Structure 1
Amino acid sequence: MQFVCMVSAAVAWPAMGFSQQSPRMPRVVYLSPVNIPAQVNALRAQLRELGYIEGRNIRLDFQDAAGHVDELPMLAEKLVQAGDIDVIIAISTAAALAAHKATQTIPIVAFTAVDPVGSGLANNLARPGGNVTGIAVFSEETTIKRVELMREIAPRAIRLATVTTKVSSGPQSFGPVLEAGRKLGFTVENLVVNDPGELAKTLSPEILAGFDAFVFVPDVVLSAHMTEIIKLVSATTKPAIFPSPDWVSNGGFMSFGPDFADGSRHLVAQLDRVLKGAKPSDLPFERPTKFDLRINLRTARMMGIELSPMVLARADEVIE
């Protein structure tokens, strides 16, 4: 009898071991118009702080359109059709719209520059109602402030240029520059970079020479070419205001806008909630609460730009 029991146990043991499989790791797809390694590395670090270790308890799949924004809808559609996605992180309004068009069921956590209600991603901010939540920057508001700052530091400037790509050339991004600029006595022109590979052509010295000042709006494709853009614009010795502090840290003259690194932490916190079972329809879109005015005084001196003590006193950070 004892022998029979031992044999039965031996037969049952493999079956028991087979049923105790490792829990399935959630797969998160990161969808962006362009690859920015610094942002990807920051996301991984922020996830680790919350206990998510890639390959151990989460799978991360980074997908981008290599700067070709028109390809985002096709890319999103292919990803959704392939299946096995738990959450999509969408970086930019364009990526969020592409993901939302491809699926109305897979949760989407988005980082959008413009109003998600106005762009059709949510019914309202407090209760989005669909499968999209995240962080909404509302760049319309900060863009107006950048134009006002430019009038203050360049009172004689007339011709104002903004630089956009297909990510930011729509009315929600360019419109505020145009409207605020005209009210403050600027003539405004939009320099559209249709192909990031032709950036130097679109922002050639001959073209930039026709303007007195530059105001930039948030644009993830432009951020991927930050160093080149700063070099091209700084060569004009004319003032340019950028949308976030990292531009100033990399040599840009001035920035006003939200700290996108802080915004990324809030985005990852939203992702964490969704992975733990929260529904995007019930998760309010968050708005940045920290806005910084930063000035690179070294760059200003090199460009021969003088700033009033009043402007310098308002700055949250001045790089000497």
Structure 2
Amino acid sequence: MKRIITFISAIIIFLVAMLLTQPAQNAQQKLTHKKVIKVGILQLVSHPALDQIHAGIISGLKDEGFVAGKNIRVDFQNAQGDQSDLKTMAQQLADRSDILFGIATPAAQSLVNSASKTTPIMMAGISDAAGSGLVKSEQHPGGNVTGASGDSPLEKQLKLIQDIMPQAKKIGVIYTSSDAGGQSNARKFAKLVTKAGLQPKMYTIANTNDMQQISQQMASQVDAIYAPQDNGVASAMKTLVNNANQAGKPVFPAADTMVKDGGTAAYAIDQHDLGRLAGHMAGQVLKGKQKTATYPVGFVVKGKYVINQAQVDRLHISIPANILEQAHKNGRIIK
């Protein structure tokens, strides 16, 4: 009798699961029959890293045969860091889009809260998708959300700092308290710093207005500074660098674009590649070849050395020859 009850229960659970997932699958399949697909892109704020992700999304879609003005219509909204605008824009895009992109964690979360469960949502620039509650797991998203993630190659980033600054003992780590991805990245890096026998010193800003005071304090107390994948820090990068320069301390950012904004050096993934991967994944969903619920989150894992030569010269820092060689060969040296 128990076996029969167990068998019947299993059948019921299976049927319920099918009923819940089938509407989303049918909705995604219908996208392939549309002549012009409406693509909604929501970006948290403008700074070079997120702007590059946006450009990469458009490139990735084009690689898959989806071209703006031809078979897709792109509706791009940028909240410029305003949480109220972010929610309003998310709802507007959700109401009129066939597929959605969220650039940065808060943008993706706002889309999830606004869109129907049948509208595919592609993440881009999300460093901790599962921890942020956007997917059940990276291998099995389980709903209408998937996309591209690219956490920093933290161990190689720390090795870069040690190679360039072998005398550094205190590493400052600054992040925004409201940025889940930045906070996660900062804490992971701090653990590696401690494991390496060095001392991480954590500093928090509530918003970009805090950067002036907090970065001045930090620069006077540490030997080198790590700037994580954090939208608040990236937006205030020039202020951070200015105060660090006055104290003669190098800033090692997580994103390649942040080096151009004044960081000294980084071993980082390419933000354009991250967006491009999200565009490619969206193309597979639009063609009906993948379903978001079973499409594992994609990762950009290969990094490159990016060196800001002007900063190196300003701070009188010596870059090891092997790192310079790799930056010349596969990375980038900003003059």
TM-score range, shorter-chain basis? 0.7 to 0.9
Moved more, 26-35 or 242-251: 242-251
Equivalent residue, structure 2, for 1:94: 106
2:172 is aligned to 161
> Identity rate of aligned residues, in percent?
25
**Tell me, which stretches of 5 or more residues in structure 2 are unaligned?**
1-33
Closer/same/farther in 2, CA of residues 51 and 227 from structure 1, 3 Å limit: farther
Question: What is the Cα deviation at residue 310 of structure 1?
Answer: 4.5
CA distance in structure 2 between the partners assigned to 1:218 and 1:225 by the alignment: 12
Q: Which residue is 2:157 aligned to?
A: 146
Structure 2: distance between partners of 1:294 and 1:218: 15
Instruction: Determine the structure 1 residue equivalent to 2:270.
Output: 259
Matched, 1:194 2:187: no
Judge which range, 227-236 or 255-264, deviates more.
227-236
Query: Structure 1 CA distance, aligned partners of 2:201 and 2:89?
Result: 32
Counterpart pick for 2:254 among 231, 238, 243: 243
Q: Highest CA radius of gyration, 1 or 2?
A: 1
Distance in 2, Cα, partners of 1:173 & 1:310: 27
Structure-1 separation of matches of 2:56 and 2:151: 22
* Bigger helix fraction: 2
State the partner residue of 2:16: none
Deviation sequence 1:190-222 (CA, Å, 0-9, x none): 333322244334333x54222211112112343
Alpha carbons of structure 1 residues 97 and 300: separation in structure 2 relative to 1, 3 Å: same
My pick for the range that moved more, 189-198 or 177-186, is 189-198
Taking structure 1 as reference, are residues 30 and 193 closer, same or farther at Cα in structure 2, changes over 3 Å only? Answer: farther
- Structure 1 unaligned regions, length at least 5: 1-22
Do residues 67 (structure 1) and 81 (structure 2) align? yes
- What is the aligned-residue RMSD (CA, Å)? 3.0
Q: Which residue of 271, 291, 295 maps to 2:303?
A: 291
CA distance in 2, matches of 1:45, 1:169: 24
Distance 1:318 1:54, change over 3 A: closer
Per-residue deviation, residues 130-181 of structure 1 (Å, max 9, x unmatched): 1111112133xx2243233323322332322122222246652222122112
- Distance in 1, Cα, partners of 2:88 & 2:321: 50
The equivalent residue for 1:220 is 231
Change (3 A) 1:295 1:35: closer
Contact preservation (8 Å) 2:122, 2:278 = yes
**In the alignment, what sits opposite 1:6?**
none
The aligned length equals: 293
Q: Provide the TM-score with structure 1 as the length reference.
A: 0.78
The SS at the match of 2:148 is strand
CA offsets 1:97-126 (integer angstroms, 9 cap, x no match): 332233433211002442323333223333
TM-score, normalising length: structure 2: 0.74
1:225-262 deviation digits (Å, cap 9, x = unpaired): 44454444334322221113223344431011211111
- Where 1:222 maps in the other structure, the secondary structure is helix
